Structure 1
């Protein structure tokens, strides 16, 4: 599957609707490891999006590209309370 610009733009538009929302990130940690983190979707840019992770002490931000969602490198779930409302995969 070849990702064209419109597919990546559609993913960005979906994320734009949820800026400030709580999200769960499920990423591939390599060697059959899956890493799950939670945080807030802070901002979207033309090629990447930023998530502020929950943590103790210092604020930690991570960025991913929209192609990471498209290629299933990252699974992003938008949460409402403890309920999943949308999964971008």
Structure 2
């Protein structure tokens, strides 16, 4: 992905509201995968609203440095944000 924090922020700015899959290192060789929507961006962190049917909590935040150090990997999906209650 990008090589600097500025490039990472710029890459994420155009994707607010899009669905994504997060693959995060949770320590001790444990990898956690979550799905959600990129909701908000702040100077040091970004917020992801998680799918409620799969997760016990609503939101998670990660720093841009997590992406830079490859602690967190993001992959955006082609589908737009799903409307809840559609099923």
2:69 aligned to 68, 71, 84, which one?
Answer: 71
Q: Measure the CA separation in 2 of the matches of 1:32 and 1:73.
A: 11
Deviations 1:2-50 (A, max 9, x none): x8xxx21110110001000001000112222211000000011111100
Q: Which has the higher contact order (CA 8 A, sep 6+)?
A: 2
Between the two proteins, the alignment pairs up a number of residues equal to 76
1:9 aligned residue:
6
- TM-score between the two structures when normalised by the length of structure 2: 0.79
2:84 aligned residue:
none
Structure 2 unmatched runs, 5+: 80-87
Q: Measure the CA separation in 1 of the matches of 2:5 and 2:68.
A: 8
1:61 aligned to 56, 59, 62, which one?
Answer: 59
Structure 1 unmatched runs, 5+: 82-89
Cα RMSD over matched residues?
1.9
- TM-score between the two structures when normalised by the length of structure 1: 0.77
